[in-house]
Structure 1
């Protein structure tokens, strides 16, 4: 089961965007893949589902 590390995701995306010159979308895709998600859409969907259900999927 994938459990996102939100702080690590945000930090990695920020570094990739500002230091790496990636777009925000590409930086979030990279950060999501580093946590085992397909892309940022899957990452954010996982978090949305968790918030709505208030339990791990």
Structure 2
């Protein structure tokens, strides 16, 4: 299983995270930079993030 962080907890981010989880191949963490509790998680993992287009 692959760990994935999806930034943006809006409708699209939620939909994508649900689809990835349903596939059974991914562990998904949904974060939003505007939520104060999510900022420390982002700061700890910022160096490990990979951007996909």
Q: Which structure's relative contact order is higher, taking Cα pairs within 8 Å and 6+ residues apart?
A: 2
**TM-score above 0.5:** no
Which of the pair is proportionally richer in helix?
Answer: 1
TM-score, structure 2 normalization: 0.37
TM-score, structure 1 normalization: 0.36
Which of the pair is proportionally richer in strand?
Answer: 2
